[in-house]
Amino acid sequence: MLDPDRFDPAAHVAAAAPAVGLTLDAARQARVAAAFALVVRVAAPALAVPLTETDEPAPVYRP
Protein backbone atom coordinates (compact mmCIF):
# COMPACT_ATOMS: atom_id res chain seq x y z
CA MET A 1 0.00 0.00 0.00
CA LEU A 2 1.25 3.42 -0.88
CA ASP A 3 1.33 5.70 2.18
CA PRO A 4 1.57 9.34 1.08
CA ASP A 5 2.83 10.37 4.51
CA ARG A 6 5.80 7.98 4.32
CA PHE A 7 6.58 8.30 0.59
CA ASP A 8 9.79 10.24 -0.07
CA PRO A 9 9.45 11.71 -3.56
CA ALA A 10 12.95 13.22 -3.56
CA ALA A 11 14.52 9.84 -2.79
CA HIS A 12 12.35 8.19 -5.44
CA VAL A 13 13.41 10.70 -8.11
CA ALA A 14 17.08 10.44 -7.08
CA ALA A 15 16.96 6.66 -7.46
CA ALA A 16 14.68 6.38 -10.50
CA ALA A 17 16.15 9.09 -12.75
CA PRO A 18 19.51 7.38 -13.30
CA ALA A 19 17.78 4.02 -13.67
CA VAL A 20 15.92 5.32 -16.73
CA GLY A 21 18.87 7.30 -18.09
CA LEU A 22 17.88 10.81 -16.96
CA THR A 23 20.31 13.39 -15.71
CA LEU A 24 18.49 16.04 -13.69
CA ASP A 25 19.96 19.15 -12.13
CA ALA A 26 18.92 19.95 -8.55
CA ALA A 27 16.20 22.41 -9.53
CA ARG A 28 14.57 20.05 -12.01
CA GLN A 29 14.88 17.14 -9.59
CA ALA A 30 13.02 19.22 -6.98
CA ARG A 31 10.23 20.06 -9.46
CA VAL A 32 9.83 16.41 -10.46
CA ALA A 33 9.76 15.38 -6.80
CA ALA A 34 7.04 17.97 -6.11
CA ALA A 35 4.99 16.57 -9.00
CA PHE A 36 5.41 13.03 -7.65
CA ALA A 37 4.29 14.17 -4.21
CA LEU A 38 1.11 15.59 -5.73
CA VAL A 39 0.46 12.44 -7.77
CA VAL A 40 0.83 10.28 -4.66
CA ARG A 41 -1.63 12.46 -2.70
CA VAL A 42 -4.20 12.32 -5.53
CA ALA A 43 -3.81 8.57 -6.12
CA ALA A 44 -3.81 7.46 -2.46
CA PRO A 45 -7.62 7.30 -2.03
CA ALA A 46 -8.04 5.18 -5.18
CA LEU A 47 -5.22 2.86 -4.17
CA ALA A 48 -6.78 2.43 -0.72
CA VAL A 49 -9.82 0.59 -2.16
CA PRO A 50 -9.35 -3.14 -1.58
CA LEU A 51 -9.63 -5.29 -4.71
CA THR A 52 -9.64 -9.05 -5.25
CA GLU A 53 -8.45 -11.05 -8.25
CA THR A 54 -12.06 -11.41 -9.45
CA ASP A 55 -12.89 -7.68 -9.45
CA GLU A 56 -13.37 -6.22 -12.91
CA PRO A 57 -14.01 -2.70 -14.16
CA ALA A 58 -17.57 -1.75 -15.03
CA PRO A 59 -18.35 -1.92 -18.78
CA VAL A 60 -19.88 1.58 -18.58
CA TYR A 61 -18.77 4.26 -16.13
CA ARG A 62 -21.63 5.88 -14.26
CA PRO A 63 -20.62 8.28 -11.46
Q: Is pTM beyond 0.75 here?
A: no
- 3-class SS string, 3-59: CCCCCCHHHHHHHHHHHCCCCCCHHHHHHHHHHHHHHHHHHHHHHCCCCCCCCCCCC
Q: In the predicted model, is pLDDT for residue 50 greater than 70?
A: yes
Please give the pLDDT value at position 1.
Answer: 64
pLDDT digits (tens, 9 = 90+) for 1-47: 677 888 899 999 999 999 999 999 999 999 999 999 999 999 988 88
